[in-house]
Structure 1
Amino acid sequence: MIEKILCAGVESAEAFADPPGILLFPEEEVLVAKAVESRRREFATARNCAHHALALLCEAPAPIVRRERGAPQWPAGIVGSITHCAGYRAAAVARVRDILTIGIDAESDEVLPDGVLDLVSLPDERARLRDLAAADSGTRWDRLLFSAKEAVYKAWFPLAGRWLGFDQAEITLSPTAGTFEARLLVPAPKVEGFPLRGFTGRWLASDGLILTAIALRAGTLAATHDAADSAGTRVPGLV
């Protein structure tokens, strides 16, 4: 499923169950040594997906440990993202020469628990969600918004190295194109010498799951900047 919303240059692997007998590297085993069995199996399956995705890039097997704030530590020259929810695990990876950062997220296709939407959304976002729900009540727009914000954070953190709150990115969902735009509401970090003002991502709702994905191509911000100069207009850094 996840490959449907990922671009060329990104490899991925996914699983819909936790098969027994997955072998982890010792450096990975220690990360879940004290975890309950269900958490250990979830972790093992997600790491197994990451190992398979790396193999598709012809990368040698290697442990994927944790960096700050729990983000995966990928091999040198690789960027990636891991996600898991009930009944689904996935990983996506790419070479940094092609893709600067990746953020993927999976959620069960269910309404958010009471009170969560107010905590993770902005007033304008909630207004747009009401309009989307009025036009299409079959999509869990609140859960999709939450998933998009999770994908934004996963794409943001490797580039900026700092926290991004739910209220620091404004999401606009496109119901027909299956895309979303994220406008960053914090000072823009420079990426490849240009300010990163936001992201464009893709989403998919199918088979009881909501998936979101962001992949920032190398050179995109420079191309956006050049296009803005040529047109004599300011183009937001959405990619």
Structure 2
Amino acid sequence: MEALRALFAEGVGTACCDPRAAVARPYREEERFVERAVDSRRREFHAGRACARMAMSALGLEGVAIPAAPDRAPVWPEGVVGSISHCATLCVAAVALVRDGYGSIGLDVEPAEPLPADLVETICTPEEEAWLGRQPPERRMLLARAIFSAKESLYKCQYPLTGVLLDFQDIDIALHASSYHARFRRDAAGIARGTILEGRLTIEDGYILTGLTMTASRHAGLFRRLETANLTD
């Protein structure tokens, strides 16, 4: 899927599949995490793990079981970072190696459909709502869902490094044609308030895809501050 590969630089392995289709027999070590889940949840879980192994294979890595932590986040093999996301019709995964300078990856997929209007106030900051108000009416709620997706990929990327559970109101998102900027409105462990990180996005083929990578050090993270980013365009 070209749109998925375009989210990340060279050195990141990606893969996608349809969770409604049959996937390879799941690893027994993974089955226990969804043994009581409904069928749709089980299919999405196992499809996501299958995608993750395909992405690992693209980097020359052996496929292994990917269990879930108590917070349900994937537990990656030592030296590997990654992210898994899914919606009803698409599972996606991205993985990279710590030795290549990657500290964490965030990835999200959403259907390219309008966000329900009653969720906008919860998800969007006042600045984001003001920006949406200046967009063509027929695109506002689609862009609102893209903001949601950008926050999801950012949250999933920063959490392994900081251990901080961010609220939707803790981040301001500025969308651009094929990228987004995320500004922290609060401190998050090694990330200072006001830090701005850049991710990538695409809206095509019926999906919104957003992705972000971070480098890491033993002090939780090395973050690039983009002082010239315009969060109101």
TM-score class, shorter-chain normalisation, is: 0.7 to 0.9
Q: SS where residue 39 of structure 1 aligns?
A: helix
Question: In structure 1, what is the Cα distance between the partners aligned to 2:159 and 2:113?
Answer: 27
2:134 aligns with: 131
CA–CA separation in structure 2 for the residues paired with 1:21 and 1:158: 28
Change (3 A) 1:144 1:204: same
Which residue is 1:180 aligned to? 180
Cα 1:105–1:224, aligned 2, differ >3 Å: closer, same or farther?
A: closer
One of 45, 48, 52 as aligned partner of 2:47: 45
- Counterpart of 1:67 in 2: which secondary structure? coil
**SS of equivalent residue, structure 1 residue 69:** coil
Separation of aligned partners in 2, 1:222 and 1:155? 13
Answer yes or no: is the 8 Å Cα contact 1:188–1:196 preserved in 2.
no
Shift of 1:188: 4.4
The structural deviation recorded for 1:187 is 1.4
Structure-2 separation of matches of 1:223 and 1:5:
18
**Alpha-carbon offset, residue 162 of structure 1:** 1.9
Matching residue of 1:153: 155
Structure 1 portions without partners, runs of 5+? 226-233
Higher helix share: 1
Q: Residue 228 of structure 1 corresponds to which residue in structure 2?
A: none
- Cα offset for 1:112? 1.1
Give the structure with the larger strand fraction. 1
Q: Distance in 2 between matches of 1:195 and 1:117?
A: 23
Corresponding residue of 1:24: 26
Paired with 2:30 and 2:98, the residues of 1 have a C-alpha distance of: 23
CA RMSD of aligned residues (A): 2.6
Query: 1 CA distance for matches of 2:194 and 2:128?
Result: 21
Q: Which amino acid aligns with 1:16?
A: D
- 1:207 alignment partner in structure 2: 205
Which deviates more from structure 2 when the two are superposed, residues 105-114 or residues 142-151? Answer: 105-114
Residue number in structure 1 paired with 2:36: 34
Q: CA deviation at 1:139?
A: 7.9
Q: Secondary structure at the match of 2:78?
A: coil
Structure 1 pair 196/67, CA: closer, same or farther in 2 (3 Å)? farther
1:88-237 matched pairs, under 5 angstroms: 88-97=90-99, 98-133=101-136, 137=139, 140-174=142-176, 176=177, 178-190=178-190, 197-217=195-215, 224=224, 235=227
Give identity over the alignment, percent.
34
CA distance in 2 between partners of 1:162 and 1:223 (Å): 16
- For the residue of structure 1 that corresponds to 2:16, the secondary structure is strand
For the residues of structure 2 that align with 1:224 and 1:29, how far apart are their CA atoms?
39
Contact 2:11 2:59 in 1 (8 A): no
CA offsets per residue over residues 43-76 of structure 1, 9 Å max, x none?
A: 1111100011111222222111112421111000
Cα distance in 1 between the residues matched to 2:202 and 2:224: 26
Q: 1:196, CA displacement in angstroms?
A: 9.0
Contact kept? 1:133, 1:141, Cα under 8 Å: no
Q: Deviations over 1:173-201 (max 9, x none)?
A: 11x3x11000111214337xx99923210
Q: Structure 1 residues 72, 85: closer, same or farther in 2, change over 3 A? A: same
Seen in structure 2, the aligned counterparts of structure 1 residues 149 and 36 have a Cα distance that, compared at 3 Å, is same
Task: Name the CA shift for 1:188/1:140 in 2 (closer, same or farther; >3 Å).
Answer: same
Residue 217 of structure 1: how far off its partner (Å):
4.2
2:65 match: 63
Secondary structure of the 1:137 match is helix
Q: CA deviation at 1:218?
A: 5.8
Q: Deviations over 1:149-174 (max 9, x none)?
A: 10111011001012011011111111
Q: TM-score, normalised by structure 2?
A: 0.86
Is the CA contact (8 Å cut-off) linking 2:114 and 2:141 kept in structure 1? no
